[in-house]
Amino acid sequence: MENKPALGYIGLGLMGKPMALNLLNAGYEVVVHNRSRQVVQELVERGAREAFSPREVSSRVDIVFTNLPDSPDVEQVALGEDGILSGAKEGLIYVDHSTIKPSLARKIDHEFRAVGAYALDAPVSGGDVGAQNGTLAIMVGGPEEALEKLVPIFNVVGKSITHVGEAGAGQIAKAANQIMVAAQMVAMAELLVLAKKTGADPVRVVKAIQGGAAQCWTLDVKPERLFAGNREPGFKAYMQEKDLKIVVDTAREYGAPLPSASLHTQLYGAMLQMGMENLDNSAVIGVIEKLAATNLLD
């Protein structure tokens, strides 16, 4: 029986923790590190091994995964002092599941290639439920020879694995994903508020349109939660706003006009200003409700 590679996991938040747990449950040795140590201890109790820096993690394993909040965090953990690169041996594979700027993914790839290591940008979609159930969509940019070694591991945490292209391509796919997610969330908010303001039953409106051309994941999953008054995450609004800022920054960098995505970025920015940053991204309906002087549950 082939020996399983030793894995490292850095960033044990809403997504990283369940993904690391799934790898542990699949029989992999996992070395974990996180800024908050409580979650590290939780995973150690489940069989993980503890590390105290990104450098220590990379020096002890064959493959390192990160799941971090934003581009500066990834740059520091991957390339900074005492970072993953500083402990990397030849042949190490670094996989970043964070959502970051494509330009940074390409920079990381270049730096890791220089020491004979691999770097893959592999952002995910599916939210915390997908992370818990191992059903995430994984969008991969980077060298195919490294991806081939990762397929059995990715199959533990995801159900859809797509090699999009070279370094940065996974992040481009995630940006495209977030354009569509935001558009669906805002459109759902608008149609629910329209139904409410015009005196139609929003529950029946959703039921009526789910069987037609408007059918989508968002309408299948989110309205039931909203009708129950549940706006807890899921995927937090401040993360959606962060991802959309990456989208518009990248679009500006490459000269791609994205008028709708730019407007949706402003709506999610308004959520943050209104104190709704930790609610679900579907709670953008709160901004539309405020503008319409109505409430879905009234």
List the catalytic residues: 174
Nearest-CA neighbor of 178 among 100, 272, 67? 100
Long-range contacts of 17-20 (CB under 8 A, 24+ apart): 17/42, 17/43, 18/128, 18/131, 18/132, 19/65, 19/67, 19/97, 19/131, 19/136, 19/157, 20/48, 20/65
What single-letter amino acid sits at 43?
Answer: L
Tokens of 291: 């503008």
Contact call for residues 202 and 227 (beta carbons, < 8 A): yes
Beta strands in the chain (DSSP E): 7-10, 30-33, 49-50, 63-66, 93-96, 118-121, 124-125, 136-141, 158-165
| 17/30 Cα distance (integer angstroms) | 12
What single-letter amino acid sits at 178?
Answer: Q
